[in-house]
């Protein structure tokens, strides 16, 4: 082994097959760059993951940890609901904390994570933000539904921030929709200056939807927790959904509750540990 190489302990985890490399910087240093993250995320020559989750010491009073999220392309993002559940399982299982209610800060908000049992971790994802300048969406007036014409085709969508920007498009057939093509188009239009996660939602009834999500810096993932929250928040806003919804994703099902009284949205679902590893870089 080259003595000049850095050594890093990590865990591979997933939430509904949305997979992560989890690294704690409480007992070790991680000298990472965009290129290193891209190399780690490569599914042929690296570890392979949708996002890298980094656990740091708390930066804000009355929080237990700070939580950073990087996409496979090395870009840092604000939010990841499936990752938050894996974060909670990791710090509890590795005995970095002995409480089942965990408070963490992210790039732009504070999350409360609650380990209810082996199969269910509850995450308070905070308050959905519909104001265009907070998403951000370059439209002056807030609406429940927006429309845009791209390449002579008209699209209708809802938009919201769950700590990260989302737009949601209603579809009739979840299997026939061109997720990559349309997702890429929306991610590159000037309306979304920080790009956007694009959800494709088919409503089965007021308490049940199918959802596929094309994520910034990753592409289509097996599941997206913040995307599930965004779809439900927009569905409730448009009076198409109740505030308790089962979201069917490619990787499995998740429960979303939009507590209108508290103005907070919650997700509840599993987190799985796959393996622990050691990498030199």
Residues 265 and 3: beta-carbon distance below 8 Å? no
Q: Give the CA angle between residues 192, 241, 153 to the nearest 5°.
A: 40
Largest CA distance in the chain: 61
Beta strand ranges found along 118-176 (DSSP E) = 120-124, 146-150, 153-161, 165-170
DSSP 78-92: S--HHHHHHHHHHHH
Residues 201/168, Cβ–Cβ less than 8 Å: yes
Q: Which helix (H) or strand (E) holds 210?
A: strand 208-215
Closest C-alpha to 94, from 27, 15, 17: 27
Residues found in the chain? 281
Q: Please identify every residue annotated as catalytic.
A: 80, 224
Q: Write down the residue that tokens 């919201």 correspond to.
A: 160
């Amino acid at each position: 082994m080259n003595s000049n190489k850095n050594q890093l302990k990590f865990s591979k985890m997933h939430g509904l097959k949305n997979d992560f490399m989890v690294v704690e910087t409480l007992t070790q240093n991680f000298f990472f760059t965009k290129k290193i993250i891209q190399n780690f995320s490569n599914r042929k020559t690296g570890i392979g993951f949708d996002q890298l989750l980094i656990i740091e010491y708390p930066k804000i009073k009355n929080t237990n940890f700070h939580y950073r999220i990087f996409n496979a392309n090395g870009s840092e993002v604000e939010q990841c609901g499936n990752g938050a559940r894996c974060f909670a399982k990791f710090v509890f299982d590795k005995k970095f904390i002995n409480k089942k209610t965990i408070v963490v800060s992210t790039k732009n908000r504070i999350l409360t994570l609650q380990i209810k049992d082996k199969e269910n971790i509850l995450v308070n994802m905070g308050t959905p933000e519909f104001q265009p300048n907070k998403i951000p969406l370059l439209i002056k007036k807030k609406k429940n539904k927006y429309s845009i014409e791209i390449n002579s085709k008209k699209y209708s969508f809802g938009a919201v921030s769950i700590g990260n920007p989302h737009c949601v498009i209603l579809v009739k057939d979840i299997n026939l929709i061109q997720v990559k093509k349309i997702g890429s188009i929306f991610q590159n239009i000037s309306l979304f200056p920080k790009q956007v996660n694009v959800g494709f939602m088919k409503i089965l009834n007021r308490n049940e939807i199918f959802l596929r999500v094309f994520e910034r810096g990753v592409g289509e993932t097996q599941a997206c927790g913040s995307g599930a929250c965004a779809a439900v928040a927009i569905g409730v806003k448009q009076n198409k959904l109740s505030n308790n919804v089962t979201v069917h994703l490619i990787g499995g099902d998740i429960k979303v509750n939009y507590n209108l009284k508290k103005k907070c949205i919650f997700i509840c679902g599993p987190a799985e540990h796959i393996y622990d590893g050691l990498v030199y870089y």
